[in-house]
Amino acid sequence: MSNIVAIVGRPNVGKSTLFNRMIKRREAIVDSVSGVTRDRHYGKSDWNGKEFSLIDTGGYVVGSDDIFEQEIDKQVELAIDEADAILFVVDVESGITGMDEEVANLLRRVNKPVLLVVNKVDAANRLHDATEFYSLGLGEYYPIASINGSGTGEMLDALIEALPEVEEKEEENLPRFAVVGRPNAGKSSLINALIGEERYIVTDIAGTTRDAIDTKYNRFGFEFNLVDTAGIRRKAKVKEDLEFYSVMRSIRAIEHSDVCLLVVDATRGFDSQVQNIFWLAEKNHKGVVILVNKWDLVEKDTSTVKEFEKHIRQQIEPFTDVPIVFISALTKQRIFKAIETAVQVYKNRSNRVPTSKLNDVMLPIIENMPPPAYKGKYIKIKYCTQLPTNYPQFAFYANLPQYIRDPYRRFVENKLREQFDFTGVPVQVYFRKK
């Protein structure tokens, strides 16, 4: 599980530019995932070998009548509440504004590392101008230019130094199945139905689960931890934006899981909020099972299941090889089928293909359908192997790997899925110089 870092500040100070630069800084970084409001983004970054999740919050505006800005303000406060460290971005061009002072007042009350980042310092004379930000009372500041990356290295060094150590659970090495989804989709009801007791509070009000809780579970001779991740905590001074907060909690749960059970409310459909959580799981290389809950409330005909499933698969292209199970936590319809499917996905994620078998199967397929020639140069793939990682990654060795394009990468991935059982699991394919 990695730390969470929130980028906050008033509008138009360059937060999103800094976010984009940070998530693209290293090859291992996962792309950003669009969030739940107009400019919400999540991503993963790393610096000096330490990974962290990054949240780009909207611009904080105090006392606005604009309903969107009021919602953004709520989400900024929630991000501050949930984050392990905060990057407070200000603009050297405009100097200290009243809104900067309001944000600084908010951050001074936070018992977390806060790094004051003075942006747009892209000339020597602006270094002197940046000194006025000392008066915000947040201590040392870090002058940067997010547009070209100047100064970001020193800022990241300080950020890594300030991040708290993440506690790793060492007592058990059981697989973790995280139950994720938007509020009020039926996550806690599902776990209650599975374990046969009212372990969690379940109401019709979204957001009643306070924290993610593990339940040790044994089914089909397979023991694992089942994790309820609704995780909406009541805060007297924080007005909950439930959709944003559900993603915040899901980030932590997904990163520390092996398989994600994505619960979808059948009466609301596979909307953008659910898609965001799905792609968070995919970007973190976790196994995924989609559970369409409250199926007993849907009016059905002979084609309802087929049409619903078709719609979901269109929304998750190109990663369409994901099990979809239609359940009802209330009537316990197919809930054990859901667990059986999740266990199989976990086994698929742990699947190791012997190198000899991999080459015997894949090389003839590649020989019959080789990569397209590039500028008259023919690409030959001679050898492949599965990498020793905790999720399926494969390296294919070629004479000219730099000329292999994404469509052919997807072709190889699809053939791997056809020949070997990786249902519900993201597969990574690399082409390397032989």
pLDDT tens for 14-27 read 888 888 888 764 43
314-336: buried (b, 16+ CB within 10 Å) or exposed (e) per residue? eebeebebbbbbbbbbbeebbbe
Is 424 labelled as part of a ligand binding site?
no
Is 232 labelled as part of a ligand binding site?
yes
Tell me the angle at which helices 98-108 and 67-82 cross, rounded to the nearest 10 degrees.
30
Is 79 labelled as part of a ligand binding site?
no
Question: Hey, what CATH topology would domain 3-162 get?
Answer: Rossmann fold (3.40.50)
Is 325 labelled as part of a ligand binding site?
no
Is 185 labelled as part of a ligand binding site?
yes
Is 186 labelled as part of a ligand binding site?
yes
Is 246 labelled as part of a ligand binding site?
no
Is 122 labelled as part of a ligand binding site?
yes
**Top CATH class, 176-350:** alpha beta
Is 50 labelled as part of a ligand binding site?
no
Is 258 labelled as part of a ligand binding site?
no
Is 60 labelled as part of a ligand binding site?
yes
Is 409 labelled as part of a ligand binding site?
no
Domains of the chain, by residue range, sit at 3-162, 176-350, 355-433
The pLDDT tens digits along the chain (434 residues) read 578 888 888 888 888 888 888 876 443 334 444 433 344 566 778 888 788 888 877 655 555 454 444 554 566 676 677 788 999 999 998 899 888 888 888 888 888 899 999 999 988 888 888 999 999 988 899 999 988 888 999 999 999 999 887 665 444 578 889 998 887 888 888 888 887 755 444 444 444 444 455 677 777 678 888 877 654 333 343 344 545 555 666 677 787 789 999 999 999 999 887 888 888 888 888 999 999 999 998 888 888 999 999 999 999 888 888 999 999 999 999 999 999 999 999 999 999 999 999 999 999 999 999 999 888 889 999 999 999 988 899 999 999 999 898 899 999 999 998 899 899 999 999 999 87
Give me the chain's average pLDDT, please: 80
Is 31 labelled as part of a ligand binding site?
no
Asked whether 384 and 396 are in contact (CB, 8 A), the reply is yes
Q: What is the pTM of this model?
A: 0.65
> Which residues is 328 bridged to in the sheet?
333
Is 12 labelled as part of a ligand binding site?
yes
Is 62 labelled as part of a ligand binding site?
no
pLDDT tens for 351-402 read 999 999 999 999 999 999 999 988 888 999 999 999 998 889 999 999 999 9
Do the domains spanning 3-162 and 176-350 agree at the CATH topology level? yes
| C-alpha R_g of the chain | 24
Residues 355-433: name the CATH superfamily: K homology (KH) domain (3.30.300.20)
